[in-house]
A and B are shown apart, each in its own frame.
Chain A
Amino acid sequence: MKDLISITDLTVEELQELIDKALDIIECPDKYAEKCKRKKLATLFFEPSTRTRLSFEAAMLELGGSVLGFSEANSSSAAKGESVADTARTVACYADIIAMRHPKEGAPLVAASAADIPVINAGDGGHNHPTQTLTDLLTIYREKGGFSNLKIGFCGDLKFGRTVHSLINAMCRYEGNEFVLISPEELRVPGYIRKDLLDRGGFKYVETDNWDLLPELDILYMTRVQRERFFNEADYLRLKDVFILTAEKLRSAKEDLCIMHPLPRVNEIERAVDDDPRACYFKQVLNGKYIRMALILKLLGIE
């Protein structure tokens, strides 16, 4: 595997290798402190992102490598009309690995075809964001000890939320999982997720517009209703506050429930929930750095 463009580029075995590597990094960080000495990561961010870019940069720095790059298209040659392929080929002369975020879907694939160094998709529009899914998977693994026989609730914007689609896709590769899809009618998962993944895979799932099944969940994955996905402000305002997780609601949930959120959060999780030991979303952020460290090592072929 040269690049990571979509989570489906990884086999279940490769994914497990990454998880194991991340766990070893967490266990023995010193062992990895100089693994990427003299290696450079280029972060090519054609649209802004705080968390993902800093996570990649922190990951490379903790491996003893260095980073270069830009954080918005205006400060790159794209502003002069340079193609993604040319930018990638140029950067490949300076760096050893690229992490790219781009507003256009498929841009990292174009970069990967043009550059002879590994390219990691750090988000291409509303399409793929595989390192977020890796982050989610490492969190599930650390909190639940595996990926099978889990009852997973997804709540909020299930229609436009790429992290939701990607995680459902990933969890459908394991046996015995059940899905509870909690959303307003207008924000239900797209038909292809229902038909191609859940129905075809024979998975049990429920689509609901209430919290009734919260007590049965092992994992609750909350998402933000994203203003930028709506053409109509009135629809956004009507739907944004429909599902808010409160400490009160969590009284009925399992004691070992794992509450996740890809962040940033707006108001869909009440601040009071942050102190609940079941809240895992800030642990998720930390896991994001570890799994990116593991991914960088794998793509650079460093043990």
Chain B
Amino acid sequence: MTIDSIINGIVLDHISAGKSMEIYDILELSKLDCSVAIIKNAVSKKGGRKDIIKIDSIIDVNLDVLGYIDPGITVNIVKDGKIVKKSHLELPDRVAGVIKCNNPRCITSTEQELPHVFQLADREKGVYRCVYCEAKAGHGAS
């Protein structure tokens, strides 16, 4: 199966197989007017399967959010048909508005307007904790 190469846009490569739709939703790609291609279960040269998302426009992508959801992703910025920037993601120090704190004793449970902010507590294990109550969010939890 082939998808046309993009001239100016973004390629999110090495997405863990099966995660592309979650990323599509969180980055709100459905709101874009440009073409967006989702390739699921592509064969990876590194072995195994991967998902790929190609966006036919250079948009602002929140790399922190992306890094939290799937830190193995590579973000390629393509201009005039060439990759001009390749970013390897890592777990961000802080994420806002991605993970919801489920601790019923947390202040965020009663004050709806407060942003849900999590801080990376253990990079090795990918553990994030709520900045307000320090409740643990399992990596990948929403």
Contact = CB atoms under 8 A, between A and B. Distances in A.
Interface stretch (A32-40, A103-111, A245-253): A103-111
Interface of B: 103, 105-111, 113-114, 130-135
Contacts of B107: 84, 102, 104-107, 109-110, 124
B104 to A, nearest CB: 9
Given A125-B105, A126-B105, A106 B131 contact: yes
Closest 10 CB pairs of A and B: A106-B132, A105-B133, A104-B107, A106-B107, A107-B107, A106-B133, A105-B105, A125-B105, A105-B106, A83-B111
Given A84-B111, A104-B109, A110-B107, 7 more contacts: A83-B111, A103-B105, A104-B105, A105-B105, A105-B106, A106-B133, A127-B105
B81 to A, nearest CB: 47
Contacts of A107: 107, 132
Contact of B110 (A85, A104, A109, A127): A104
Given A83-B113, A84-B111, A109 B105 contact: no
B110 A106 contact: no
B113 A106 contact: no
20 contacts: A83-B111, A84-B111, A103-B105, A104-B105, A105-B103, A105-B105, A105-B106, A105-B107, A105-B132, A105-B134, A106-B108, A106-B132, A106-B133, A107-B107, A107-B132, A109-B107, A109-B132, A124-B107, A125-B105, A127-B105
Q: Which of B108, B111, B133 has most A Cβ within 10 Å?
A: B133
A127 B133 contact: yes
Contacts of B130: 106
A126 B131 CA distance: 15
Contacts of A83: 111, 113
Interface string A74-108: 00000000011100000000000000001111110
A277 B118 CA distance: 47
A127 B111 contact: no
Q: Which of A103, A105, A109, A126 has most B Cβ within 10 Å?
A: A105
Contacts of B113: 83
A303 B106 CA distance: 36
A106 B135 CA distance: 11
B103 to A, nearest CB: 7
Nearest to A109: B132
Nearest to A105: B133
Interface string A114-138: 0000000000111100000000000
B140 to A, nearest CB: 20
Given A83-B111, A83-B113, A104-B110, A110 B132 contact: yes
B134 A127 contact: yes
Q: Which of B103, B107, B111 has most A Cβ within 10 Å?
A: B107
A84 B108 CA distance: 11
Nearest to B114: A110
Interface in A248-297: none
Interface in A237-251: none
A70 to B, nearest CB: 18
Nearest to A196: B122
A105 B105 CA distance: 6
A84 B111 CA distance: 8
Contacts of A106: 106-108, 130-133
Nearest to B108: A106
Nearest to A126: B105
B130 to A, nearest CB: 7
A83 B108 CA distance: 11
Nearest to A110: B107
A106 B118 CA distance: 12
A133 to B, nearest CB: 15
A159 B134 CA distance: 16
